[in-house]
Structure 1
Amino acid sequence: MGGSLRTTGPLACVALCVALACAACRQEPPAAAAPQPVEAEPVAPVAAPEPQAIAAPAPAVVPLPVWTPPAVELQPEQVRGALQRAGAALAEGRLYQDAEAAIPMYLAVLSLRPQEREARRGLEKARVRLQASVRALLQQQDEQRRALAEAATQVAVLVHLAPEGGVELELQRRVQVARRLLALNRSGEEALRNGSPALAAGAFAQVLELDPGNSRARQGLAAVESGLLRQAEDAAAHADFNAALDWLRQASRIREDAPTVADARVRIEAMRDAQLAALRDGGLRDLASPKGLKDAREKLEQALRIAVPGDAAVAVLRQRIDLVAHYGSFRPGQVFSDSLQDGGRGPQMIVVPHGGFQMGAGYGEPGASDAERPQHYVRFDRGFAMSITEVTVADFGRFVAATKARPRASRRGHSIVYDERSGNFVRRNGADWQADYNGAKAPPDNPVMHVSVRDAEAYAAWLSAQTGRYYRLPSEAEFEYALRAGTAGRYPWGDAGVPPAGSGNFTGSEDVSPSGRHWKNAFIGYGDGYWGAAPTASFRPNGWGLHDMAGNLSEWVADCWHASYRRAPPDGAAWYNPGCRQRVVRGGNWANAPEQTRAAWRLSQDSDVTSARIGFRLVRGI
């Protein structure tokens, strides 16, 4: 620590304290046996401030020892001998330690002969040697504590010899500061060993405030920073990234823009990414097993605890968990068909998204009845698949051929058809599932009609056996939910009274029968080009990809008839009472009045009814 230090800022306090200590040194001590030099104990470390505001207060003064010359018994006639012994001690480097050392001997001579020049010259030589010794001791790095203790004793001797000497006072100040720096460095190192990085950093910061080039303090701060970074990485390894970031913030305050902190931050973020990727991959593997949803959710919870907002790995796992929870192995909007045992394919199905809606009609809705109330909220926690179109004549014919079934109209020998001559619906013999709306043979891609609800349920049971999947009629809530497809208006297309062009097969004022008839109660200005049922998928699908939900044919659903929605199931399940005969029909048809095309419209029908206006579609669990 060569060179002088300025006494500005915190060192001004040091200079003042040194001056006071020097004034105490100038007092003549009583004669006594030579005391052993007393080294001041290091001061206790100052409690470290908060890591975000580490300060460097002015250091307290470490007391220096006071030197008292050993007593020398000397008579006037012994002066010559004393000078000779003092010279020999000076030559040997024994300067102050005991009564036979050079300085005590020369002082004893001068006490008898104040003008003795040999004693003055010898004392000056001893003083110069002590000055050099103190400077050398201040430069020592090894055994620094012992060297500073020796330097403190020697500078006490110098101050005794020259209480106002400039060199002596400067050396005394340097020793004072060096001892303070040593005490602070040792305090910081002790705090570091005891796991108190904030205390350690505070001590080392005080050292560097006094001595910016102090290598020991710089190494100490580097050790503090390294320890904080180890703590950060250890916390990250244990998936505690909040703690890791706290440790990093503390480390970043040690040295501004330290590259080690930036590198550690990159490593910790890489650890976070690796842990998140492992949780994501593990969760995806869990989802591949039938009962892995719970384990995957646990991994998602772990990932959410360590991820930053918007993390891609978490988003992927969350999305897959949601899909599995709500759709199994499917996706909303996915189209599929199951293979049949006979080599054919079942009806095309589409996955309806899970969600909720207000079912029924509000009290102010025009044309609504009490049977459509009260309006109530229904939620589907899991999606379901619904056939994209009504079941076709070809689909139903495959079932009849495979099972030799005799549907209700075939057994009874008649059904209800439209009579072109009278413009009314009449009973016609020979009309069954193979017939069109007027009793003629139906094309294979037409929706099957003239089937009872039990015929529809029998087809669903056969399809379930053929595919190994559970097919059934939709519940009334499922039908209205899919019919609305996320809308909430009076009609499936909204509140407007006229359907959008090409949206479905409804009764329109521009529709004309083969004999030129027009509807008496129809949507004004609308025409779809069909009088009777149209081939399936002839019109645009609704928002969820389903055709003919609001028109073409009304459809059987699984529910028994209830005169209102009081106590209706809130989860969308079918409201079914075993043995009931009155069933529910939903959705408008090619011959319905506009009021019967509303989204909430429902109708009670006997379970044996067959008609040219009623068909069905199916739902499959996923």
Structure 2
Amino acid sequence: MACTGLAQAQEPATGNKPGGIVPRASPEQFELAFWNSIKDSNHAGDYEAYLKAYPKGRFAALAQARIARLRAPAQPPAAAQAPAQAPTPAPAQRPQTAQSPPAAQPPPAAKPKPPAAKPASPAIAAARARASGEIRDCQSCPVLVSLPAGTFTMGNNASDPSERPAHQVVIDAPFAIGKFEVTVQEWNACVTANGCARIAQADAGPTAPMRDVSWEDAQQYVKWIGLVSGKPYRLPTEAEWEFAARGGSAAPYWWGDRMAAGKANCKDCGQPWHAERPANVGSFGANGFGLHDTSGSVWEWVADCWHNNFKGAPNDGAAWEEAGCRQRVIRGGSWREGAAYMVASTRFKYDAGVRQSQNGFRVARGF
């Protein structure tokens, strides 16, 4: 696309989402949506993900140029010239940036380590989990919330065509789903056990949501955690995910009919918010089922193949699969999107092998 065309690749609009990440029916709209989601990124991996999906895309040359710029070695600043016959001034303090990290400081004196806490017995741990209404199957396992069977209306006839038609779905058996998205710490436990790929999260602490993972990466994690716990872990189906994300509400947002500040991690949702990374899991309140960050934070992979709408979708909560499926569904929006993407019905797709810095997941399992 010519440079003049870039002016048309605007930020996602509010209201019924006429232009951003939520898809339209044409391949061109999917590509534009992908580009809009990464065009302001400072991560080379985002542009590499675009090139993998669209090697001859309209923004391919620009993506390659940005990768080259982001991977170029930083140039050291020119030394300031001191005035003639004057003492050299003390170096000025510079603000910390991604290109100029602070100088290394000597480590503080070692402190004596406190005695390790004695781990609770399995019986005590199970009793605590029951008392809190939560499930934790093993030390490395994510905390789960048990949800009952139920009936709900999936989709949204007033929103994007991909979310139509709204239809009744019966979740006919209880299931458990992650209270939070899988965190960096939880992912790294799988890496240490050689069950998952090592994926750098240089700017993320242990309780940040794990991101830049593909659908295939997420499958490796649920396979590993299933072996560790002895439980049938998997990704939630798209129907289970929306049932859980709504938290028992039929409104567009899990908290009601209108956008409200402080409910989700997005660029229009209030603090805490940072353009470069999502907030730590649980930084915002839980929905009616006790789940955090189902709106915003990171897009979440689910089990289903992508379909352009819900015509012919199963109504029993099962995953909508088909042979040879490569396009998989992601749900919930991310911290980079605006308020219009926080509705519970928002959905999009990616290739199962693509890693993108806005994409993460939460786990589920049956009983």
Report which stretch shifted further, 476-485 or 604-613.
Answer: 604-613
Partners of 2:305 and 2:205 lie apart in 1 by 31
Q: Which residue of 1 aligns with 2:264?
A: 504
Paired with 2:245 and 2:292, the residues of 1 have a C-alpha distance of 9
Q: Please give the alpha-carbon distance, in whole angstroms, between the structure 2 residues aligned to 1:599 and 1:332.
A: 29
Which amino acid in the other structure matches residue 465 of structure 1?
Answer: L
**Letter in structure 1 aligned against 2:183:** T
Task: Check whether the contact 1:333–1:352 (CA below 8 A) recurs between aligned residues.
Answer: no
Q: Does 1:530 align with 2:277?
A: no
In our comparison, the structure showing a higher alpha carbon Rg is 1
Matches within 5 A, 1:601-612: 601-612=346-357
Aligned to 1:611, the other structure's residue is in SS state coil
In the TM superposition, residue 374 of structure 1 has moved relative to its aligned partner by 0.8
Q: Could you tell me which residue of structure 2 aligns to residue 594 of structure 1? A: 339
Distance 2:141 2:195 in 1: 18
C-alpha distance in 1, partners of 2:131/2:327? Answer: 33
1:618 alignment partner, one of 352, 357, 363: 363
User: Residue 597 of structure 1: CA displacement?
Assistant: 1.7
Could you say which residue in structure 1 is the equivalent of 2:200? 434
Indicate if the aligned counterparts of 1:389 and 1:548 stay in contact, CA closer than 8 A: yes
Whether contact under 8 Å (1:507, 1:590) holds in the other structure is yes
Question: Which deviates further from its counterpart, 592-601 or 441-450?
Answer: 592-601
Question: Is the 1:506–1:528 contact (alpha carbons within 8 Å) kept by the matching residues of 2?
Answer: no
Q: How does 1:545-556 map to 2 (within 5 A)?
A: 545-556=290-301
CA distance in 1, matches of 2:216, 2:346: 22
The DSSP-based 3-state class of the residue aligned with 2:221 is: helix
Deviations 1:273-309 (A, max 9, x none): xxxxxxxxxxxxxxxxxxxxxxxxxxxxxxxxxxxxx
Once the two structures are TM-superposed, the CA of residue 353 in structure 1 deviates from its matched residue by 2.1
State the 1:607 CA deviation.
1.0
Report if the CA contact (8 A) 2:212-2:355 is conserved.
Answer: yes
| Coordinate RMSD, CA, aligned | 1.9
Per-residue CA distance 1:88-109 (angstroms, 9 max, x = gap): xxxxxxxxxxxxxxxxxxxxxx
Identify which of 372, 377, 388 aligns with 2:163: 372
The letter of the residue matching 2:248 is G
Could you say which residue in structure 1 is the equivalent of 2:141? Answer: 346
Q: Which residue of 2 aligns with 1:479?
A: 241
Give every structure 1 segment of 4 or more consecutive aligned residues whose post-TM-superposition deviation is greater than 6 Å.
330-333
Displacement after TM superposition at 1:492 (Å): 2.3
Q: Where does residue 456 of structure 1 map in the other structure? A: 218
Q: Give 3-state SS (helix, strand or coil) of 2:146's partner.
A: strand
Q: Structure 1 length normalisation: TM-score?
A: 0.37
SS in 1 for 2:193: helix
Contact 1:557 1:585 in 2 (8 A): yes
Question: Which residue is equivalent to 1:335?
Answer: 134
Q: Which runs of 5+ in 1 are unaligned?
A: 1-329, 408-432, 509-522
Aligned-partner SS, 1:455: helix
1:387-430 deviation digits (Å, cap 9, x = unpaired) = 110001111111111126436xxxxxxxxxxxxxxxxxxxxxxx
Q: Percent identity over the alignment?
A: 40
SS in structure 2 of the partner of residue 403 of structure 1: coil
Residues in 1 aligned to 2:339 and 2:332: alpha-carbon distance in whole angstroms: 11
**Aligned equivalents of 1:607 and 1:471: distance in 2?**
19
- Work out whether residues 134 and 143 of structure 2, in 8 Å CA contact, stay in contact via their aligned partners in 1: yes
- The alignment partner of 1:495 has SS state of coil
3-state SS of paired residue (1:350):
strand
Alignment of 1:214-225 (within 5 A): none
Deviations along 1:598-619, whole A, 9 cap, x unmatched? Answer: 2111101111221221110000
Corresponding letter in the other structure for 2:200: Q
Structure 2 unaligned blocks of 5 or more: 1-128
Aligned match of 2:193: 402
Aligned residues between the structures? 238
C-alpha deviation, 1:332, in angstroms: 12
Q: Which has the higher contact order (CA 8 A, sep 6+)?
A: 2
How big is the shift at 1:489? 1.4
1:562 aligns with 307
Distance change in 2, residues 1:332/1:452 (3 Å): farther
